């Protein structure tokens, strides 16, 4: 079977998507169930490394399940009827079933990569009443550049505000020069991890408000 462009075998993606999401998330304890989404499909993605490091660091406090966006088709209102694409149903179920979201975005051309914007577009319907409404969201951006994806971060905030999600109010979590902070697929920069953990604690506090 040919590998999918995201590096994951197609069979694995189909299996992931076909599982009922209640089996994917940790129902065996009372830890908050968080959904992590990376805005990059790249196999060696720094965004993916950031998400994995956070997942590992908070494992005692919360469960972060990563949802791969590789199979989510381009938004098409003609497909957004009763019978939605399988990956879209899985995405919306995963967002509905989690207590909070962590979005990790690279910056593409001073903005949010299409794959992440596209996923938000699918999840945002029906407008103002979607699975994103009221959902606590922690945003993280990174880039090899000096401003750490600040423009993508700002765009992401703008887009999320239209979904009525609850963006966690923390100082912006921007990881600059990310290429020097990830080694062998692992985020090794402790300062970045510290900022992320402060943000994550704020996400948990936001979740507890409900």
Chain residues that interact with ligand FNR, rule: CB under 6 A:
40, 42, 45-47, 106-110, 143-145
Nearer to ligand FNR, 129 or 158 (CB): 158
Q: Compute the least distance from the CB of residue 143 to ligand FNR, in Å.
A: 3
Q: Compute the least distance from the CB of residue 178 to ligand FNR, in Å.
A: 6
DSSP conformational letter for 60: T
Nearer to ligand FNR, 107 or 206 (CB): 107
Nearer to ligand FNR, 153 or 200 (CB): 153
Q: Quick one: which of 130, 129, 153 has its CA closest to 39?
A: 153
Q: Is the dihedral of CA 154, 111, 202, 130 positive or negative?
A: positive
Q: Which residue is nearest to ligand FNR (CB)?
A: 106
Q: Compute the least distance from the CB of residue 145 to ligand FNR, in Å.
A: 3
Nearer to ligand FNR, 46 or 200 (CB): 46
Q: How far is CA 206 from the centre of its chain?
A: 17
Report d(CA 65, CA 143) in Å as an integer. 23
- In the block, which residue shows the tokens 């703008």? 158
In three-state secondary structure terms, 131 is coil
Q: Compute the least distance from the CB of residue 146 to ligand FNR, in Å.
A: 8
Q: How far is CA 179 from the centre of its chain?
A: 20
Query: What contacts 71, CB < 8 A, 6 or more positions away?
Result: 4, 13, 14, 17, 86, 87
Q: Compute the least distance from the CB of residue 163 to ligand FNR, in Å.
A: 22
Nearer to ligand FNR, 93 or 172 (CB): 172
| Cβ–Cβ under 8 Å, residues 100 and 167 | no
């Amino acid at each position: 079977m040919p590998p999918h462009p995201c590096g994951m075998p197609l069979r694995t993606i189909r299996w992931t998507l076909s599982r009922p999401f209640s089996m994917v998330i940790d129902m065996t304890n009372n830890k908050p169930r968080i959904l992590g989404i990376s805005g990059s499909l790249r196999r060696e993605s720094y965004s993916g490394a950031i998400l994995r490091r956070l997942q590992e660091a908070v494992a005692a406090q919360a469960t972060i399940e990563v949802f791969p966006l590789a199979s989510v088709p381009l938004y098409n209102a003609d497909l957004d009827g009763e019978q939605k694409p399988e990956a879209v149903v899985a995405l919306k179920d995963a967002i509905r079933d989690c207590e909070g979201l962590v979005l990790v975005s690279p910056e593409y051309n001073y903005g949010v990569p299409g794959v992440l914007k596209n996923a938000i577009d699918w999840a945002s319907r029906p407008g103002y009443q979607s699975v994103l409404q009221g959902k606590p969201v922690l945003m993280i951006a990174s880039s090899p550049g000096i401003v750490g994806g600040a423009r993508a971060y700002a765009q992401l905030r703008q887009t999320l505000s239209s979904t009525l999600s609850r963006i966690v109010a923390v100082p912006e979590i921007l990881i600059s020069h990310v290429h020097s902070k990830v080694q062998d697929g692992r985020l090794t920069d402790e300062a970045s991890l510290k900022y992320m953990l402060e943000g994550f604690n704020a996400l948990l506090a936001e979740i507890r408000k409900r």
